[in-house]
Structure 1
């Protein structure tokens, strides 16, 4: 995926173009939407390329939220594959006049450069989803990643694991602050109740790297029974499931957890190759970030729920709760919230699973 840059035009049609351009950027490079004369604050949203969730959900929902509250705002949006690239994009946004940067960092420590750049320019920084560490920032908007890990761990315990069985814990990218947070949440549930037989950090939170890690887990455990796999996201869950199937597992797999409620993960939940995903309603996260960014841009009071220590001070934080999505509540969570549709979920090989689950006749 190549980085993209869009600028809000403050019209409904333009927001459609933003989404189309963002998705197109995955294969076609940079895109820019046209802009009308700005009369309000200039805000930049910088995201990393963990998955398609940023161009398909976070970006358009952030812009829609600002459009509703501030029709005259200018919003520049960037995606980056590396932290160095994101740091350069932040410099570009500041040079263009952005007074607030909303940043989903690729590397929590490496993104401190952005906070330092912004402070030198007199701009504010909000950390989005993952925490920027080691430099003063002005706000943090995220879901409680400890509860993400707890959801996965509790799902394994609730499956009545066999005596002597062990958990495999596949955590996210060690450079990302959320990875350790998810891991701590899982440990808080598992500790003293079941042995973690294998643990690994998964670079880039990717399915391919998770598959390699799961193969290594199987080799290391040498035939010990696996009670479940606590996966830090849906890509990791995908890789773990693939490795187990290729290792000869048939029928129901040990419970595997993930997060993000990706359509492919929901389909695996329907077919039994994943037990649960931690669903984080991205429109709520984007709206909270837009509200905080606008308040900071206008030098207005910011309403938050707690504070977070990022190593450079207490950061005002808005913390949202994830929801456990299983086969039993897909209809009342992601479908009811219009996070996805029955048509998208039940396409192709998942069609019969949807019928079996009562999602369609």
Structure 2
């Protein structure tokens, strides 16, 4: 009887370990890397970030599984997705936060389970984690602002600029704005400035329509748009307003439609971010963390080890030597019948 009590006590001690071993996470030997992207209005996430990340993980770790979620710009949905991945036994989280200011509790939940976190594209503030992989976002804004100012100057126009900044819940937006102001302040008048919820092209169109109404069509000589999706909204608003020639407008992400607008003269430039490098570096770090390795980084943002990639300004003359050369898009993808003449003029054949 004495031996039986000892055996039962030992069995009871083992039960919590068995529960932690993965009754709710399926195969406990399977390494799972969870990737969380914030939205699908910006085409890069589904078209590039997700497949490039998954392919690199598969190459480095054929037995690893990628658990993918897109939050559709809903912070509550992303919270549920992260909690679900942790419950399923994810070994590493790669998180592009919908609301970076509200993401610290999600990182804390991961910490409590000893699950490492990589902040992808957007810096998460207020808590420490393993890595941050993004671009030099202040530099992005500087590149955009300088390109806008150069084109306004080249056209010999005087007047006001409208600024369409990104989502106020995305800390990258504040960096882009800071860089753009560094390039523009004191050199040109800023007539209207907006922080655009959700990076929404529709809301950017409404903002641009309001700016045209309040400032007057002829007084607007340039538009700073923080990304290509919002640039599409601004272009639509200006077309509706009857501009005979569209003023210079910036962008970011090198979306296919934006590249085509650059060729036809409706958009001045875009910032080409090497999303392949970003996604693949993040995948390398995630696999390393899953193997309990921690590679060194070239820099830090605050106390967070970071990899920051350089932005590349792309205009009509440089599409061939950047976007096409890197295989981001093929000439056939860009040069649809609607833009064939513009492609020929730019030397894309």
TM range (shorter): 0.7 to 0.9
Counterpart of 2:54? 63
- 1:222 and 1:241 map into 2 onto residues whose CA distance is 16
How far the C-alpha of 1:162 sits from its partner, in A, is 4.3
Match of 1:268 among 230, 251, 261: 261
Cα RMSD after superposing both structures: 1.8
Counterpart of 1:296? 289
Structure having the higher helix fraction is 2
User: 1:4-43, aligned counterparts within 5 Å?
Assistant: 41-43=31-33
How far the C-alpha of 1:59 sits from its partner, in A, is 1.0
How far the C-alpha of 1:259 sits from its partner, in A, is 0.4
Q: Structure 1 residue 335 and structure 2 residue 324: aligned?
A: yes
Match of 2:191 among 193, 197, 206: 197
- 2:101 and 2:27 map into 1 onto residues whose CA distance is 36
- 2:281 and 2:109 map into 1 onto residues whose CA distance is 24
Counterpart of 2:8? none
Match of 2:67 among 57, 68, 76: 76
How far the C-alpha of 1:40 sits from its partner, in A, is 6.0
- 1:242 and 1:55 map into 2 onto residues whose CA distance is 24
- Aligned residue pairs total 320
Long gaps (5+) in structure 2: 1-25
Long gaps (5+) in structure 1: 1-35
How far the C-alpha of 1:90 sits from its partner, in A, is 0.7
Counterpart of 2:311? 322
* TM-score of the aligned structures, taking structure 1 as reference length: 0.84
- Please say if residues 156 and 227 of structure 1, whose CA atoms lie closer than 8 Å, have aligned partners that are also in contact: no
Counterpart of 2:160? 166
Q: Deviations over 1:165-205 (max 9, x none)?
A: 22211000111111111101101111221121111011111
* TM-score of the aligned structures, taking structure 2 as reference length: 0.87
- Please say if residues 217 and 241 of structure 2, whose CA atoms lie closer than 8 Å, have aligned partners that are also in contact: no
- 1:68 and 1:281 map into 2 onto residues whose CA distance is 19
Q: Structure 1 residue 103 and structure 2 residue 81: aligned?
A: no
SS in 1 for 2:250: strand
Q: Deviations over 1:44-81 (max 9, x none)?
A: 10111142322221111111111222222222111112
The list of structure 1 runs, each at least 4 consecutive aligned residues, that deviate by more than 4 angstroms after superposition, is 36-40, 161-164
- Please say if residues 308 and 316 of structure 1, whose CA atoms lie closer than 8 Å, have aligned partners that are also in contact: yes
User: 1:149-228, aligned counterparts within 5 Å?
Assistant: 149-159=141-151, 160=153, 162=156, 164-223=158-217, 225-228=219-222
Counterpart of 2:38? 48
SS in 2 for 1:257: coil
- 1:262 and 1:48 map into 2 onto residues whose CA distance is 17
- Please say if residues 43 and 73 of structure 1, whose CA atoms lie closer than 8 Å, have aligned partners that are also in contact: yes
- 1:55 and 1:165 map into 2 onto residues whose CA distance is 38
- 1:107 and 1:143 map into 2 onto residues whose CA distance is 18
